[in-house]
Structure 1
Amino acid sequence: MKILYLCHRIPYPPNKGDKIRSYNEVRYLALRHEVDLLCLADEPDDMKYSADLEGICARVAIYPLNKTRAKLRGGLSLALGQSISVGYFYQRNVQACFDLWLQERGYDAVLCFSSTMAEYVFRSRLFDSGDGESRPKLIMDFCDVDSDKWIQYAEEARFPMDRIYRLENSRLAAYEQRVYHKFDHSVLISEAEAALFRRICPSAAELAVIPNGVDFEFFDARLSDASVLHSDAKKVQGEAGGAPTIVFTGAMDYHANVDGVCWFCREIYPTLKAEFPEVRFTIVGSNPTPAVRELAAIDGITVTGFVDDVRPYYQAADICVIPLRLARGVQNKVLESMAMSKTVVTTSKANAGIQAIDGEHLQVANTAEQFIRSVTGLLNEEASRLRLGQSAREFVVANYDWAVNMAKLERLLI
């Protein structure tokens, strides 16, 4: 098959959220089909990864997204009664490439990753309003329900931004309904997201739920390169002086992650520090915001910034915390921690897309008091940590195999 894969963010390197999912979709499909990739890059440094993707895909076109101009387009879209998000990610040069490739290649399927990419289909002069058999099959991977994020933002924001966020929620939800009705198949990342989508689109009778996966051969404490991994882990642990170590990983310019670690450091960490004076909290992830960097001034807290390999930090952790109060979809950081046989303490929101069992595969805590109680108990009980960690890995291996889950996606294209 000839497949055109259209993505709002370059699917490489696969080091965070949506990039992990889109990269694995592209990689899996490109092994079996002829895949052309058309995408945006919102970080200038990401343009250098074109060669990596050209080694996978038949053809690759990456267009830089200037964030200032994108915000202006989003504002104009808002003023015109449309969605901020759709305007933000729409570029005429990408549309021109999309139309040209459609005309040249005769694709069997067009797979869009993220609802905003549907705009290129809607504006294409090569698609009519009907469902003619001559056009490619249209697949939308919503991943999660983007419109719902804006309600979460609104609940935290002050006037007038709370009004703008609620307006964007309404407009983007209407847009998501339009996408569902125009595309042949719609994909969500979890049953929880599918249920949420049905609430905003009651006519959504057919939704494909295709979970993420985790590379549990890479994220494995018993790797073939374990000597290197353990050596690096000992170095990381040595930097903590052998103290009890708590770790958080994630892109540190992402609002939900920033909110989570700041809340943890403000409301939870001081009590843990009083109980365990030597405890260390390590925040691992690229592009830490000023608010995150300031946390490094607190005794026992380390902010690493970007690291080449996150596994030594997982390996050195006694507990991995994912204190996300704003969360959607499947949290890859939870899956990776579990695959590394680590004890995880996280919120019910972060676990909603994973559906691990509280007390069997991880521990769920939603308040500061619950986090303190869980982390304190686990730091005092090594046997409980080891039991939960082993159970966590078994759960991931059984339920989050990329090959199994991507085969479900492939079947929608045929």
Structure 2
Amino acid sequence: MGEILFIAHRIPFPPDRGDKIRSHHLLKALARLGPVHVATLGETEADFAAEPMLAKVAASYCLAGRRANLPLAGLRALIAGEPVSLAAFFSPRLRKWIDHTLSARPIEAIFVFSGQMGQYVPASYAGRVVVDLCDVDSAKFEAYAAKGSPPRRWIDAREGRLLAAEEARLARRASTTLLVSEAEAALFRGRAGSGAVNVRALGNGVDATFFHPDVVEPHSALAAAPGPNLVFTGQMDYPPNIAAAERTARDLMPSVRAVYPQARFHVVGRAPSAQVRSLEGLHGTRVWGEVPDVRPFVAAANLVIAPLTIARGIQNKVLEAMAMARPVLLTPAAAEGIGGSDGIHYAVGEDNASLAAHVLRLLDDPPARHAMGVAARHFVIESMSWDAVLAPLAEMVGCSASEAVRDAA
């Protein structure tokens, strides 16, 4: 097919957090279909260190710097009457490069990754536009507002309202609007109205070769400890992850330690907030922060836990743990979009009492934990490889099945 413009709010390298994992595999799949020009933003040293990896995949690219100055973005958004999310991800340099690329190259399709980046698609562009919202961000901010206190409640309510309007605008503009699960797609259809004519689910996959229990040794510190070890992984300045870590440490671990006094809860992930750091030592909690590789921690876990109250879309941390053949305990929100069966491929509990009961039941029954982990890995291999999940992508961007097969060859 012709050339593609890929616009993403974060550089898709390295694929070490949920949004980057998805954008990374989308970009590689698109690059197999035709030349891809990439417009994206970088924030950290690791982002800019990954520029050579981007250069190997992209036909051309612009990696613009982004400073996460939320107060300034908030002021700009207030003046412009737009969501803070748009102001926070706007770059004049990126806008100029995108406009030049559209005028200089035969771009047949624009793929927009994350709703904040829809602002870069010119109204005059007549080609195909695919917008991957991933999940319904506006609903997430509405949930924050419902649980928050003033003035944060008012800020989040405004963001939710304005983001909902922007999401609906993008759905009317796009040839196809993607969400990460059918549940998210159904939610969005109900919110966006009749103007959203082609809303589809495109799930996340997992690299079951990389996340394989036989290719990594369990972390030595966890393996040597009496245990049992409960593990939670994620970006630890993200509010839902912060709440899940606090919930486990404060509400679940006392019940676990009453039966297993040496049980430990390990929080693994970059940028732990002050709330997360304050959990260190509480009821056996260890906060590790950023680590080079989460796999040894997952491999050493007797149980991986994801007690998320607010969760949109499919949780990569859950798929990765399942691929590592670990038993996983989820809330209904964290289980959304995964498929599989409660009690076979994972366990689901909603309130603290049921979650604690599930933890103790699984810790008491090593054969059941092993069987659940084996079933989980088989499930993700059969149903959730990236190649299988992204197979519909060629048709969405206007590449015929025969062209996709030819280009893949």
TM bin, normalised by shorter chain, reads: over 0.9
Q: Distance in 1 between matches of 2:327 and 2:43?
A: 34
Does residue 346 in structure 1 map to residue 330 in structure 2? yes
Alignment of 1:248-267 (within 5 A): 248-267=232-251
Alignment of 1:8-157 (within 5 A): 8-68=9-69, 70-121=70-121, 124=122, 127-128=123-124, 135-157=126-148
* Deviation (angstroms), 1:234: 5.5
Q: Is the 8 A contact 2:253 2:284 kept in 1?
A: no
* Per-residue Cα deviation, 1:214-239 (whole angstroms, up to 9, x for no partner): 001111113xxx3xx22xx1514334
Q: Distance in 1 between matches of 2:223 and 2:383?
A: 34
Q: Distance in 2 between matches of 1:388 and 1:30?
A: 36
Does residue 172 in structure 1 map to residue 163 in structure 2? yes
Which residue of the partner structure matches residue 385 of structure 1? 369
Which sits farther off after the overlay, 258-267 or 42-51?
Answer: 42-51
Q: Distance in 2 between matches of 1:263 and 1:52?
A: 38
What secondary structure is seen at the aligned counterpart in 2 of 1:303? strand
Q: Is the 8 A contact 1:50 1:60 kept in 2?
A: no
Q: Distance in 1 between matches of 2:192 and 2:120?
A: 22
What secondary structure is seen at the aligned counterpart in 2 of 1:179? helix
Alignment of 1:284-323 (within 5 A): 284-298=268-282, 300-323=284-307
Which residue of the partner structure matches residue 220 of structure 1? 212
* Per-residue Cα deviation, 1:5-39 (whole angstroms, up to 9, x for no partner): 00011111111111110001011221332111110
* Per-residue Cα deviation, 1:347-375 (whole angstroms, up to 9, x for no partner): 10011121332112111111111111000
- Identical pairs, percent: 35
* Per-residue Cα deviation, 1:134-164 (whole angstroms, up to 9, x for no partner): x331110111111111111102211122122
Q: 2:88 is matched by which residue type in structure 1?
A: Y
Q: Distance in 1 between matches of 2:376 and 2:11?
A: 30
Q: 2:322 is matched by which residue type in structure 1?
A: M
* Deviation (angstroms), 1:44: 4.2
Q: 1:378 is matched by which residue type in structure 2?
A: L
Q: 2:84 is matched by which residue type in structure 1?
A: I
CA 1:111–1:299: 2 relative to 1, 3 Å? same
CA 1:348–1:299: 2 relative to 1, 3 Å? closer
* Per-residue Cα deviation, 1:337-394 (whole angstroms, up to 9, x for no partner): 1111111001100111213321121111111111110000000001110111111112
* Deviation (angstroms), 1:244: 0.9
* Per-residue Cα deviation, 1:174-220 (whole angstroms, up to 9, x for no partner): 11111111111111110010011011112134212110100011111
Q: Distance in 2 between matches of 1:300 and 1:84?
A: 38
Q: 1:29 is matched by which residue type in structure 2?
A: L
* Per-residue Cα deviation, 1:225-270 (whole angstroms, up to 9, x for no partner): x3xx22xx1514334x242111111111111111110111111111
Q: Is the 8 A contact 2:249 2:283 kept in 1?
A: no
Alignment of 1:271-282 (within 5 A): 271-282=255-266
CA 1:94–1:74: 2 relative to 1, 3 Å? farther
Q: Distance in 1 between matches of 2:180 and 2:78?
A: 28
TM-score normalised to the size of structure 2?
0.93
Q: Distance in 2 between matches of 1:178 and 1:149?
A: 18
Q: 2:158 is matched by which residue type in structure 1?
A: L
Question: What is the RMSD of the two structures over their aligned residues, measured on CA atoms?
Answer: 1.5
Q: Distance in 2 between matches of 1:315 and 1:381?
A: 18
Q: Distance in 1 between matches of 2:313 and 2:184?
A: 6
